[in-house]
């Protein structure tokens, strides 16, 4: 079952490194403003966007597999139809503990697959709001 308890959310928010798939270079978009907020809170943000060179002062990776750093959380800002493919990339990595699908994004089948492989999953929840509520 996807994570929903305050205790589990608080524990997830203790992680430090977040790859943001679909991170935007456009201020005013949630896919930019949420990672910017998280970065200001001290999280190590790794933007993933094949159409950008740099976001939030960091080199943007073309794909999740191109992120060289160890990742704790993969935060997804892509349509629900793309989640299964992103989870495929997550499962190719040994370092990802959590798949976090932002508000309005969910894929129950992909979530179940990630959970079977030992990853925690959060669906349809804004990480910024959760941080303000449970971790800020």
**Which domains does the chain carry?**
6-135 (3.40.50.720)
Residue range 89-102: mean pLDDT, rounded: 98
pLDDT value, residue 136? 60
* Model confidence, pTM: 0.96
Choose among 72, 86, 35: nearest CA to 57: 35
Residue range 14-34: mean pLDDT, rounded: 98
Question: Is 80 exceeded by the pLDDT of residue 87?
Answer: yes
Residue range 54-58: mean pLDDT, rounded: 97
Q: Which two tokens stand for residue 68?
A: 């060289």
Question: Is 90 exceeded by the pLDDT of residue 1?
Answer: no
Residue with tokens 């959970």: 115
The 10 Å Cβ neighbour count of residue 80 is 16
Q: Cα–Cα distance between 99 and 115 in angstroms, integer?
A: 9
**DSSP secondary structure string, 20-33?**
EET--SSTTSHHHH
With pLDDT > 90 as the criterion, what percentage of the chain qualifies? 95
**Whether 120 contacts 98, CB under 8 Å:** yes
Question: Is 90 exceeded by the pLDDT of residue 2?
Answer: no
């Amino acid at each position: 079952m996807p994570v929903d308890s305050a205790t589990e959310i608080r524990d997830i928010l203790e992680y430090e490194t977040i790859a943001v798939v679909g991170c935007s270079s456009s201020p005013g978009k949630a896919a930019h403003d949420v990672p910017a907020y998280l970065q200001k809170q001290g999280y190590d943000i790794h933007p993933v966007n094949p159409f950008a060179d740099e976001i939030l002062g960091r080199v943007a990776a073309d794909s999740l597999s191109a992120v060289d750093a160890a990742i704790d959380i993969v935060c997804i800002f892509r349509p629900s139809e793309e989640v299964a493919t992103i989870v495929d990339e997550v499962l190719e990595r040994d370092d990802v503990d959590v798949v976090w699908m932002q508000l309005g994004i969910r894929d129950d089948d992909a979530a179940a697959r990630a959970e079977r492989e030992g990853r925690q999953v959060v669906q349809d929840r804004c990480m910024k709001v959760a941080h303000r509520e449970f971790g800020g």
